[in-house]
Structure formats: C-alpha cells, structure tokens
C-alpha cells in the first residue's frame, strides 16, 4: 500500500514539506481512538527472541529509527507504534537554529538515495526537553547531540555538555554526533585528540549523575582504515559504550543521478542505497579489527531485510533506518524483525 499508493503521491511534493505534512498527519491520526493499537497490531513484532541487551538497556527488538527524522522529539511516541525497538531523537543543539537555507533536501530516486544539507535545523534543547516530558515510555529513546553552527571551536565541548546535562533525565542513551558533513568546522570533530578530550569531559559529567547513561559516538562512512584504527583505539582508551556507523557520506561515486543534476543539488550528505556497502564495510572493519570489543549500531542504506542482515553479519548489534523508511515505508521495520526471527 505504501509503495503503490502513498509514496508516489508523497514523491510529487517537496521532500521537506512532505516530511512536515507526514508528521502532522501521523499526529492527527494518532489522536483517533484505537489507531495506536491498530498500528501496533499491524507493525509490531513481539517475540522474546528479538530482545537485545546492550549497555545495560533491554531493546524489545534491534531495529531503530536513525537520528534526523524526529529532530525535535515531537513524534517518538507515535513512531514507536510502527514497531521500532528504539527511536533516536535529534540532533539537538543547545540553542534552536534554522539550519541551512532551503532547498536543502533532495531525493535521488533512481539511486534510492537522499542528499541533505539540513545543517542541524532544530528547535533547541529546551524545546526537546518539553517534548520528552511527554514520553509515554513505549520505546527506548536515544538522544543525539551536537553543537550550534555559530559556536566557536573553543566552545564546542560546552555545547555537547549543555545538551548532555539537559537531556540526561529524559533519554536512555546518548550519541555524540561528530560526523555531520553539513556543519561548519567539521575538521575539529574529526581530530581524534579533540574527540578524546570531548568524550572524557562528557564522561566526567555522566559520572556525576546518579544514574550513568550509555554514550556512543556516531562516525562517518568516509573514514579510511587508518582513521578507523584511530577510532578503535579511541573507544578502547575512553571506554565509551559503542559506535554508530554510519552518518551520511560526502562521496558521490557510482551514482545514477546525472553529473548536471548533482551539480545543481550542490553540497550535502548522501544517504540510502548508495552508501549501503560503504557503511557495511566500516562495520566489518571495526568489528574485525577490534575483535568485536564494543557494540556497534549499523546504519546506512538499509532498504530490505537482507540489507539489515548484512549489517548484522558484518558485526552490528542493532540497526537503524532512515532513508529506507522513506522509500520502503513502515512495513520495513516488520520485515527486518521477521527476517531476524526466521534465522533463529
Ligand atoms: C534528511 C536527513 C537528516 C539527517 N539528520 C541527522 C541528524 O540530525 N543527526 C544525525 O546524527 N544523523 C542525521 N542523519 C543521518 C541518518 O541518521 C543516517 O545516519 C544516515 O542517513 C544513513 O542512514 P540511511 O541510509 O538509512 O538514511 C540524517 C539523514 C537524513 C537523510
């Protein structure tokens, strides 16, 4: 139904406008009595064998919604009804910001991909906290945090710390997003020396809390083996809880989209099918070269159950989807969970 009826209509419109329209639609639909139950009945796969215990949390199933979809934590209660085992909100920055000028989100239909340069458009920490106070406790919530675009490099850490402190009572795990290709001064966030400092400071803050929350690092799919070795060392030294691999890619190789069209689109991070193998390779490398010493959340180009199983086979403990959710619809979550079960 989604691919035959809903997607062709949605794809006639501007991607960002349709994103907001869908949010409003799901919100309205969810107010109808029993709709939540109906969605859960259709999409939820309940089975103890899908449960995953990782960094002290019990995930009802290993399929999550990746960051960037529910940036302001306004729809996670409703999105949980589509069968996700976890929903990652954000990226949240301390202060609300508009992001990059529109148009900044583009579909690459023939490639089943997306290019975006949203630039951390979000309503800021305070707004996210207000929304998270409405948590109905249906699903595990990840808090993906970043820095404001206008923040000076010497103050990056303060931004992460402010978001960490503010969201701490409301989320189950944290993600330090250091790999968004659409924010300025990206170079500093690629510097392992700085990352070590950032992680240490966030960990110090975590230790001061009565309950400690797991902290993960989200990395780019474009890192070379040397950089991945550095990440493995960083995880081992800082004892951070895990890695999310991966964010969107800057690499445009092998796309069906014409050169002219790509030129017209301009800068941005690529997601969806074109980055599938790149992110799987990163997962495989991290897993093999660390002797699987830390949990990995695999994300990037999962559009089918087979794609998700490939990530798991490469070493992912959990998976997340974003672009596949747009192209394949909510039934993708169920398909992945069913495929995982059929392997048991
Ligand atoms: C429109 C869009 C916005 C995104 N925003 C964020 C974000 O704010 N923070 C983040 O960590 N990742 C963000 N991502 C990256 C996704 O979470 C995911 O890592 C990436 O898209 C690869 O997965 P996919 O191929 O399933 O989309 C965004 C992706 C898209 C397509």
How many angstroms separate the alpha carbon of residue 114 from the centre of ligand 1?
10
Ligand 1 nearest atom to the CA of residue 116, by list position: 1
How many angstroms separate the alpha carbon of residue 34 from the centre of ligand 1?
31
Q: At what angle do helices 225-238 and 192-208 cross, to 10 degrees?
A: 30
How many angstroms separate the alpha carbon of residue 163 from the centre of ligand 1?
19
Ligand 1 nearest atom to the CA of residue 71, by list position: 8
SS (H, E, C) 108-140: EHHHCEEEECCCCCEEEHHHHHHHHCCCCCCCE
Domain interval for residue 62: 2-343
Nearest CA owner, ligand 1 atom 7: 68
Ligand 1 nearest atom to the CA of residue 320, by list position: 26
Nearest CA owner, ligand 1 atom 6: 68
pLDDT, position 2: 86
Beta strand ranges found along 48-85 (DSSP E):
52-54, 57-59, 63-65
Question: Ligand 1, residues 74, 248, 278, 310: which to mutate, most atoms within 8 A of Cβ?
Answer: 248
User: Which residues surround ligand 1 with Cβ inside 6 Å?
Assistant: 66-68, 71, 90-91, 105, 114, 116, 118, 120, 144, 177, 180, 218, 247-248, 271-272, 275, 299-302, 321-324
Unique residue bearing structure tokens 């399929």: 63
Question: Ligand 1, residues 92, 267, 271, 279: which to mutate, most atoms within 8 A of Cβ?
Answer: 271
Count the domains in the chain: 1
pLDDT, position 321: 98
Within 10 angstroms of residue 288's Cβ, the number of other Cβ atoms is: 11
Within 10 angstroms of residue 179's Cβ, the number of other Cβ atoms is: 24
Residues with pLDDT less than 70, the chain: 183-186
pLDDT, position 88: 98
Q: Which of these, 90, 117, 104, 65, lies nearest to 333 by C-alpha position?
A: 65
Question: Ligand 1, residues 121, 221, 247: which to mutate, most atoms within 8 A of Cβ?
Answer: 247
Ligand 1 nearest atom to the CA of residue 301, by list position: 25
Q: Determine if residue 287 is left, alpha or beta; phi over 0 gives left, psi from -120 to 50 gives alpha, anything else beta.
A: alpha
- CATH number, domain containing residue 181: 3.20.20.70
pLDDT, position 268: 95
CA angle 104–110–112, rounded 5-degree value: 65
Question: Ligand 1, residues 65, 68, 69, 116: which to mutate, most atoms within 8 A of Cβ?
Answer: 68
Task: Determine contact, residues 54/111, Cβ cutoff 8 Å.
Answer: no
How many angstroms separate the alpha carbon of residue 298 from the centre of ligand 1?
12
* Cα torsion 264, 268, 269, 271: sign: negative
pLDDT, position 303: 98
Nearest CA owner, ligand 1 atom 13: 68
pLDDT, position 186: 66
Ligand 1 nearest atom to the CA of residue 248, by list position: 20
pLDDT tens for 298-341 read 999 999 999 999 999 999 999 999 999 999 999 999 999 999 99
pLDDT tens for 196-212 read 999 999 999 999 999 99
How many angstroms separate the alpha carbon of residue 210 from the centre of ligand 1?
31
pLDDT, position 224: 94
pLDDT, position 179: 83
How many angstroms separate the alpha carbon of residue 24 from the centre of ligand 1?
20
């Amino acid at each position: 139904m989604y691919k035959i009826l809903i997607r062709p209509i949605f794809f006639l419109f501007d991607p960002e406008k349709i994103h907001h329209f869908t949010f409003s639609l799901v919100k309205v639909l969810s107010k109808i009595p029993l709709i939540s139950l109906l969605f859960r009945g259709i999409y939820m796969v309940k089975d103890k064998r899908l449960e995953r215990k990782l960094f002290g949390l019990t995930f009802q199933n290993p399929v999550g919604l990746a960051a960037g979809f529910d940036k302001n934590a306004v729809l996670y209660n409703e999105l949980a009804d589509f069968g996700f085992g976890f929903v990652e909100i954000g990226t949240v920055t301390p202060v609300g910001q508009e992001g990059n000028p529109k148009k900044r989100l583009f579909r690459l239909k023939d490639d089943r991909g997306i290019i975006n340069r949203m630039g951390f458009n979000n309503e800021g920490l305070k707004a996210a906290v207000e929304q998270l106070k409405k948590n109905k406790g249906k699903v595990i919530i990840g808090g993906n945090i970043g820095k404001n675009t206008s923040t000076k490099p010497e103050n990056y850490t303060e931004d992460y710390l402010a978001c960490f402190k503010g969201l701490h009572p409301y989320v189950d795990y944290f993600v330090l997003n250091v790999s968004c290709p659409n924010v300025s001064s990206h170079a500093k966030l690629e510097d392992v020396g700085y990352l070590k400092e950032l992680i240490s400071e966030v960990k110090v803050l975590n230790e001061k809390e009565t309950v400690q929350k797991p902290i993960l690092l989200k990395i780019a799919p474009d890192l070379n083996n040397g950089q991945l070795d550095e990440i493995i060392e960083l995880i081992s030294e800082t004892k951070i809880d895990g890695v999310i691999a991966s964010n969107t890619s800057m690499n445009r190789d092998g796309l069906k989209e014409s050169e002219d069209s790509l030129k017209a689109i301009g800068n941005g991070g690529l997601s969806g099918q074109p980055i599938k193998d790149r992110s799987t390779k990163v997962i495989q490398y991290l897993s093999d070269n660390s002797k699987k010493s830390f949990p990995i959340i695999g994300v990037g180009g999962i559009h089918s159950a087979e794609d998700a199983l490939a990530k798991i086979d490469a070493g992912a403990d959990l998976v997340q989807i974003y672009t596949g959710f747009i192209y394949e619809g909510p039934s993708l979550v169920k398909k992945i969970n069913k495929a995982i079960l059929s392997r048991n």
